[in-house]
Amino acid sequence: MDRHMAEAIGRPDLIRLDDRLVCLRFETMKVVSALAAVRHLLDTGAVRPGDTLVDSSSGIYAYALALACHRHGMRCHIVGSTTVDHTLRTQLAVLGATLEQMEPCADLKLDQKRRVERIHEILAEHPEYHWMRQYHDDIHYLGYRGVADRVREAVGTDGLTVVGGVGSGASTGALARYLRASDPEVELVGVQPYGSVTFGAEHVSDPEIIIAGIGSSIPFGNVSHELYDVLHWVSFDAALSGSVDLLRRHAVFAGLSTGAAYLAARHERDRAPHRTVLFVAADTGHRYVDTVYARHHEARPLAELTPNEAPDRHALTLPWSRMHWNRARGAAAHPS
Ligand SMILES: Cc1ncc(COP(=O)(O)O)c(C=O)c1O
């Protein structure tokens, strides 16, 4: 029996979609991560019950931190981007978390910069607040250890490839790190939107809207580049096709980063006949009904989509590119 809702929400489902394709499906991914991070801060005495935890978020981390704070009797203050929607705003308010939402800003880089500046102002006014730094503090890896154990037990690591969108890098990085502790041959495939600096694709932009939660316009300390074997860059249109196919074919209703990961995972499955591919579904489809699912008639059959095999980052092209990363260090470390 769970002792708090956060424990139930945090536990992912493992769904075998076919003999070599497995979906690791979260209702809201970062709950396990935020719970373990807050627990760790309390255990080490870095914070005390009743303290205020603050961070910036574009969506699911805000909800995860609010739940973790509710569970552990902490206060929660979020500096949210414009992508925090009405449903989340309402939940945060009732959960007791406070939210400052930034003015609409078309420029993602500016939006991220403004949120970080605002956090610094808040910390100057309230030096007793603790800044969680989900993009930089590796305590956000800790909660995925239990998830990796479940994957090891239920799926096994022999010939396993893990595929997932990279935002802060904590989920994919932690899964690979914990799984490789017992089997260094586990492969890791990261999924990115175009325009993201994380793996050096800032020079190619996607004309459609961004894929919430993955990619970045500023470098993040929690991304461990040396863990990734392969990268896929997926456009909004291709991710939409992936999301719609995943619901149609497998009845999994998930978000846009999941559609992108599913597309990449199917490709990795098809090119490696002896491997099992597990992809991460970070959130449900509800937030994406109008922007993605209502446009299902625009989805292209997945058989028509294949990635451009890019030898280096300068060869990346829309709508979908794949590149070997070979566990290189740092975004700039890859030959360019
Ligand atoms: C929808 C969605 N998918 C994927 C991710 C990436 O997860 P991580 O930050 O662990 O790299 C996020 C992160 O915010 C997200 O919101």
In this prediction, residue 333 carries a pLDDT of 46
CA of 174 to the centre of ligand 1 (A): 13
Q: Which long-range contacts (CB under 8 A, 24 or more apart) does 123-130 make?
A: 123/54, 126/52, 128/51, 128/52, 129/51, 129/52, 129/53, 129/54, 129/77, 130/41, 130/46, 130/47, 130/51, 130/52, 130/53, 130/54
CATH number of this structure's domain 31-133: 3.40.50.1100
The answer to whether the 5-29+139-324 and 31-133 domains have the same CATH topology is yes
In this prediction, residue 15 carries a pLDDT of 98
CA of 314 to the centre of ligand 1 (A): 25
Beta-strand (E) ranges in 265-319?
276-281, 308-309
**Bridge partner list, 14:** 24
What's the rounded Cα separation, in Å, for the pair 316 and 331? Answer: 15
Element holding 230 (H helix, E strand): strand 230-234
Q: Name, in order, each residue with C-beta under 8 angstroms of 34's C-beta and a sequence gap of 6 or more.
A: 61, 64, 65, 67, 68, 132, 134, 140, 143
User: Residues with Cβ within 6 A of ligand 1?
Assistant: 59-61, 165-172, 212-214, 255, 257, 282-283
In this prediction, residue 87 carries a pLDDT of 92
Q: For the whole model, what pTM was predicted?
A: 0.96
Q: Which of 30, 177, 178, 191 to mutate to test the pocket of ligand 1 (most atoms within 8 A of CB)?
A: 30
- 10 Å Cβ neighbour count for 89? 15
DSSP 311: S
What's the rounded Cα separation, in Å, for the pair 62 and 214? Answer: 15
Radius of gyration of the chain measured on its C-alpha atoms: 19
Asked whether the beta carbons of 52 and 128 are under 8 A apart, the reply is: yes
What's the rounded Cα separation, in Å, for the pair 334 and 160? Answer: 24
Q: Which of 25, 26, 57, 60 to mutate to test the pocket of ligand 1 (most atoms within 8 A of CB)?
A: 60
Q: Give me the residue spans of the domains in the chain.
A: 5-29+139-324, 31-133
What's the rounded Cα separation, in Å, for the pair 259 and 257? Answer: 5
| CA proximity to 39, closest of 82, 61, 88, 6 | 6
Q: Name, in order, each residue with C-beta under 8 angstroms of 269's C-beta and a sequence gap of 6 or more.
A: 20, 21, 275, 276, 277
Angle at 312 between CA 213 and CA 268, to 5 degrees: 60
CA of 214 to the centre of ligand 1 (A): 5
**Per-residue buried b or exposed e for 49-64, using 16+ beta carbons within 10 Å of the residue's own CB:** eebbbbbbbbbbbbbb
Element holding 160 (H helix, E strand): strand 160-165
CA-166 nearest atom, ligand 1: 11
Angle at 321 between CA 169 and CA 222, to 5 degrees: 10
In this prediction, residue 332 carries a pLDDT of 57
CA of 135 to the centre of ligand 1 (A): 11
DSSP 299: P
User: In order along the chain (336 residues), what is the average pLDDT of each group of 10 residues?
Assistant: 96 98 98 98 98 92 97 96 88 96 78 89 97 97 98 98 97 98 98 95 83 87 97 97 98 98 98 98 95 97 98 96 96 51
Side chain identity at 71, as an amino acid letter? R
In this prediction, residue 209 carries a pLDDT of 67
Architecture of domain 5-29+139-324: 3-Layer(aba) Sandwich (3.40)
